[in-house]
Amino acid sequence: MAATALTDAFIRKIQIDHRKDFVDARQPGLTLRVTPTGKKTFSVRVRSLDGIEQRITIGSYPDISLKSAREIAAEKRAEVRKIIGNLNHIRRTNQDALRASPTLRELVDEFRAVRTGVRATWTPRREGGKSEAERRIFSVFDPLLDLRAIDITPDDLAAAMRSYSPPSGSPTANGQCSRARAYLMPVFDWAAGREKFRASGLKRLPVLNVPDMRDTADPASADPSITGKRNRVLRREEMEKVLPLLIYPAPTCLAMRMNPAIDMRPIALKFILLTAARLDEVVTMRWRDIDFRRREWLKPSVKMTKGPPSPQLLPLPNAVISLLQRLPGYERRGQESDALVFPSSCDTELQNWDRITKAIHRESKTTNWHRHDLRRTSASLMRLIGVDLGTIDRILGHNIDHDREGTSRALDNYLADLDMEDVEDPQRTALTRLAAVYAKLTGNPS
């Protein structure tokens, strides 16, 4: 094809009946394609390092001037001559990879899918819900969730933690941010094939160039108020003030918006004290889970300290059975076995725990405790009255340390299927003694 001395005047005036290419005489490879509709497009033809000829579009005239087209053509020729393969294909591949690159939200969802059932923190407490790790990450890093993970920088992550506002009642957000940071760290390591995810078969494929959470500061490290594991237990004088408020119907002095006759939160907290159960286990408890003849509570899914959630069968003392029998749903349990034991006014799971806890703080003149501290207080009291650690672990639903106890894991369920009414379960004995302590604190030792 003969070269043409392209000029702006020539390009403006040219008209053709069929599509035609004009090769520039000044810039090697620069081509002007003109169509009968008057569209005029610059491109450059060049061979790559391995001899592959390719045509790279530069842009339309007059959006791209002749002078600019010549400069861009020179740059593209220099670029393509250094590569192997087709530049257009490489670009499309990179663009496809970019489009396929997940957002932070999507990456967390991917990681959750492979960790559910492996780590308790990544296993949702109920079907359709979010795991502990997801809830922390989504709260603290909410501004970044819809950004592509590969576009996020350590500075972005640090800014999200600095700007996160603590939930109501918390003095700082450093503890929440620290946990969210710890949960997000393995997500990025898995995506990038770092640390324990380096081995083939453990890392995400394809790997992503995502940030390393170790390049951000842990907000808890410089916070003197965060000393590690929480160890708050309620003292005797505090329990003597709190226990009288944990009744049903709810005390009117708490001044809740909910009618005291349907406010189950105070008595649910009493149930936590008597069983050392977790709050989420109590709010999801259903009448079908209780065997009143055998005096047992079957927890379908209990969060374990190691491994996936597992069911737990907890023997109940008479004090707990009596508490349940006084609840409004007890008489209807046969017809409404799926009903919640401690429902809200709408027959859904109880909420607004911060509000009721603050009201109990106010009326009992106690401070700085929350629901999980009640469970810890009961566990501490059982240890104080001589209950062995293994029995306490079983009541709490913790993994049993058989080496410490000198027992065998094979005997964990030895008595599970035997109806031995003359053998008192040590867990029921421990909870019976615990209930007696609380009864004495309220002045009702019977």
Query: Does residue 191 contact residue 208 with C-beta atoms inside 8 Å?
Result: yes
CATH superfamily to which 236-441 belongs: Intergrase catalytic core (1.10.443.10)
Question: 3-99 maps to which CATH number?
Answer: 3.30.160.390
Query: Does residue 45 contact residue 55 with C-beta atoms inside 8 Å?
Result: yes
> Which pLDDT value is given to residue 440?
94
| Mean pLDDT in residue range 23-34 | 92
**Paired tokens of 188:** 């990025």
Residue 325 has pLDDT above 70, yes or no: yes
Tell me what percent of the residues of the chain surpass a pLDDT of 70.
84
- DSSP characters over 318-382: HHHHHHHHTSTTSTTTTTTTTSBSSB-TTSSB---HHHHHHHHHHHHT--S--HHHHHHHHHHHH
> Which pLDDT value is given to residue 1?
63
**7 SS3 class:** coil
Residue 408 has pLDDT above 80, yes or no: no
The domain limits of the chain are: 3-99, 101-215, 236-441
pLDDT in tens, 40-56: 999 998 887 767 778 88
Residue 412 has pLDDT above 80, yes or no: no
Closest CA to 306 of 371, 382, 401: 401
pLDDT in tens, 70-120: 999 998 888 777 665 555 555 555 555 555 689 999 999 999 988 877 777
| Mean pLDDT in residue range 352-364 | 93
> Which pLDDT value is given to residue 83?
63
| Residue with token string 């770092």 | 194
Residues 6+ apart with CB under 8 A from 61: 11, 32, 40, 41, 42, 69
Closest CA to 315 of 247, 381, 248, 391: 391
| Residue with token string 């992550």 | 157
Instruction: Indicate the residue type of 20.
Output: K
